[in-house]
A and B are shown apart, each in its own frame.
Chain A
Amino acid sequence: MHPEHELDLIRKSQQGDGTAFRLLVESHQALAYSIAFRFTREEQESEDIVQEAFVKIWKNLSKYNTEFRFKTWLARIVTNQCLDYLKSARKKSMSKILISEEMAISHELKMESEELKTIVYKLADQLTEKQKAVFILRDLEMLEPEEVCSTLQMSDGNMKSNLYYARLKIKEGLRKFYKE
């Protein structure tokens, strides 16, 4: 969506125009759902998070800072809600998802994409919250470094540091499956 058109829709939404807000929802819903699903990997949970995020945005439209892109604002709200969800989910079950050696042995050089996805997500589950958030936004959602910093409200150095450890852990995890 063109930034000017986006801003126009935001202004209309601020005045209570539901149709304009619906257009915003339609154009950004995919990103919100994608981020939420990569964090939670649960359809229902992801939909709830997306819904809550948009309701929150609707209520706080008057506070929207035009310096930031709507996409960044949405990503921030969704990420925060996902992190809250992960906190509560971790409290419920403290058992860590560990990749068994058996799984590693069974894998060939070229992994099936579905299996690969499962492994990457399971490895991401073992990262710290910040590392996971940076990894998902930068490497999976492919947001620009500045957008990641803005979304997670962290400095460039902090973002790079978290990304470094996240990639290192993912790389080490994948090495178990990847035979040279």
Chain B
Amino acid sequence: MDCSDFEKNVILYNEIPEAQQDALKLHLKSCKSCERLFRQTMQMERLVKEVASQKITSANTAKLTSRIMKEIHLQSSPGWLDHAIDLLQNTFIKKALATISTILLVTFSVEFFNDTPPAKYQNPITSGFAILNSTLFKEETVRQRSKTKFFTECISPFKPQQYLIDCAKSKLK
């Protein structure tokens, strides 16, 4: 090993293994230039250590801690979307929504298949949904029943079809 190899070990003195440190110490005894470099390096190291020993702390440690915790809390607290997802995951809400959906589906299906003529072609009294008055509803029901009863006498399973026609004609007369 020559001086250039030892030079590197001088700079990295506290990083090298003990055996290399011993070899360097031995070399320093016989090499004045390396010994001078070593002395200089140790002086510089002392200055750097002096800087390192000056502890750096935040002016307000407690304030910084609470600032950090506040930010963490803010980032951890759920937003409106998380709330909405949580709400949808609730069993009761799920069932309620399913019921509402079924009701709406049935309502629209009934409406779709309803072949009742539009209201303007109906007698406002006879169209079932238009009867809001209970008295009118009752009268209409009685009238419908009497109408049905009117032809009941003509209907018989033991008489031919012609009898039903003749009977209805005579009743209408």
Contact = CB atoms under 8 A, between A and B. Distances in A.
Whether chain B is bound by chain A comes out as yes
Interface of A: 16, 18, 21-22, 25-26, 29-30, 33-34, 37-38, 43, 46-47, 50-51, 54-55, 58-59, 111, 113, 116-117, 120-121, 139-142, 145, 160, 163-164, 167-168, 170-171, 174-175, 178, 180
B73 A37 contact: no
A30 B71 CA distance: 18
B146 interface: no
B72 A120 contact: no
Given A30-B61, A170-B44, A117 B72 contact: no
Contacts of A26: 65
A18 B69 contact: yes
A23 to B, nearest CB: 10
B48 A140 contact: yes
Contact of A140 (B8, B15, B52): B52
Interface residues of B, number: 31
Interface of B: 8, 11-12, 15, 40-41, 43-44, 47-52, 54-59, 61, 64-65, 67-69, 71-73, 75-76
A50 B68 contact: yes
A139 B46 CA distance: 11
A20 to B, nearest CB: 12
Contacts of B71: 51, 55
Given A33-B56, A160-B15, A164-B11, A18 B51 contact: no
Contact of B64 (A50, A163, A171): A50
30 contacts: A21-B69, A25-B68, A26-B65, A30-B57, A33-B56, A33-B58, A34-B56, A43-B58, A43-B59, A51-B67, A55-B71, A55-B75, A58-B72, A116-B50, A116-B51, A117-B54, A120-B51, A121-B51, A139-B52, A140-B51, A142-B52, A164-B12, A170-B48, A171-B40, A174-B44, A174-B47, A175-B44, A178-B44, A178-B47, A180-B40
Contact of A18 (B8, B12, B57, B72): B72
Nearest to B55: A34
A33 B64 contact: yes
Q: 3 smallest A-B Cβ distances: which pairs?
A: A34-B56, A171-B44, A140-B52
Q: Choose among B15, B49, B58, B59 the residue with the greatest number of A CB atoms under 10 Å from its CB.
A: B58
